[in-house]
């Protein structure tokens, strides 16, 4: 059989277009493919919900690949060990209460299991705005990262979701857009973004799970973004809270969609 380059192109364009069209109306849209967003997507997709994840970068995994200072080892605390076991990620005990895993195994396994569970991931797409109707977040405005990077004047496309999850990490990008453009009061002490505090692993890891919740109608925060929005310390290179946060938001959303 002769390979036809046009067939190859047709296959890609047809299949991707179908996938993208199917992503335009979903139960949950997650922004950010770091540990929190991926774990959240895994549990939602595994429970049969229609869920898509948009990631700005070419690669999925956010800040997990580089462990701490580019040493690709990941530290987890005891409560997250259950999630590692569920994903069948090799976890070695370092000392009582501290577990280590290889960051490459961790990211690739979480990503693979999430996709196999049914999570549709779109890389190279950035959320640049949200849709709000009757003071409820109900969708995202998306553009190619390449457009954003080249600063091209190209209009975006829009998708609808019953719930939007901000898992964009430290910058809390979606929450920031909502605060700036909508005037909606966020469920924080001031009604605004509180900002993240200096590093304190113990408190950061405790608060991240508590802070992972709906902060205005239709809109959840998850992972590091939760502490950036509600006001809590960063925790540095320990990742248990990210996994637990993703799981918590998925559990809450499963009751609603």
Site residues, ligand 48F (CB under 6 A): 31-37, 54-57, 62-64, 126-127, 167-170, 173, 223-225, 234-236, 238-239, 242
CB of 41 to ligand 48F, least distance (A): 11
Judged by beta carbon, residue 32 or residue 218, the one nearer ligand 48F is 32
Phi, psi (5° rounding) for residue 188? Answer: -130, 175
CB nearer ligand 48F, residue 37 or residue 218: 37
Least gap, CB of 170 to ligand 48F (angstroms): 6
Question: CB of 248: closest distance to ligand 48F in angstroms?
Answer: 13
Q: What angle do CA 214, 219, 220 make, to 5 degrees?
A: 50
Q: Which is nearer to ligand 48F, 27 or 196 (CB)?
A: 196
Contact between residue 188 and residue 231 where contact means Cβ atoms under 8 Å apart: yes
Minimum Å gap between C-beta 81 and ligand 48F is 17
Q: Which two tokens stand for residue 109?
A: 């396994």
Collapsed DSSP state (helix, strand, coil) of residue 179: helix
Nearer to ligand 48F, 8 or 170 (CB): 170
Q: In this structure, what DSSP letter does residue 168 have? A: -
Q: How far is the CB of 254 from ligand 48F (least distance, A)?
A: 19
Query: In this structure, what token pair is assigned to residue 123?
Result: 């890389």
Residue among 215, 156, 164, 132 nearest 53 (CA): 164
Given 3-state DSSP classes, what are the helix, strand and coil percentages for the chain, each rounded to the nearest 5? 40, 25, 30
142 vs 186 by CB, closer to ligand 48F: 142
């Amino acid at each position: 059989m002769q390979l036809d380059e046009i067939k190859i192109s047709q296959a890609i364009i047809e299949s991707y277009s179908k996938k993208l069209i199917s992503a335009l109306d979903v139960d949950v849209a997650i922004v950010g493919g770091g540990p929190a967003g991926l774990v959240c997507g895994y549990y939602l997709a595994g429970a049969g919900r229609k869920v898509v994840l948009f990631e700005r970068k070419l690669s999925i995994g956010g800040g997990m690949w580089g462990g701490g200072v580019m040493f690709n080892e990941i530290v987890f605390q005891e409560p997250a060990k259950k999630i590692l076991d569920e994903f069948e990620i090799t976890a070695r005990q370092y000392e009582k209460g501290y577990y280590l895993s290889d960051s490459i195994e961790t990211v690739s396994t979480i990503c693979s299991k999430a996709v196999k569970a049914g999570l549709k991931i779109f890389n190279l797409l950035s959320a640049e705005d949200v849709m709000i109707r009757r003071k409820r977040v109900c969708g995202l405005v998306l553009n190619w990262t390449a457009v954003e990077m080249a600063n091209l004047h190209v209009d975006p496309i829009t998708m609808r979701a019953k719930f939007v999850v901000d898992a964009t990490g430290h910058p809390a990008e979606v929450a920031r857009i909502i605060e700036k453009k909508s005037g909606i009061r966020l469920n924080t002490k001031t009604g605004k973004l509180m900002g993240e505090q200096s590093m304190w692993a113990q408190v950061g890891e405790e608060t991240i799970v508590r802070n992972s919740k709906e902060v205005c109608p239709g809109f959840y925060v998850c992972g590091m973004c939760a502490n950036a929005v509600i006001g809590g310390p960063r925790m540095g290179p320990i990742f248990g809270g990210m996994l637990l946060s993703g799981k918590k938001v998925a559990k809450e959303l499963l009751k609603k969609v």
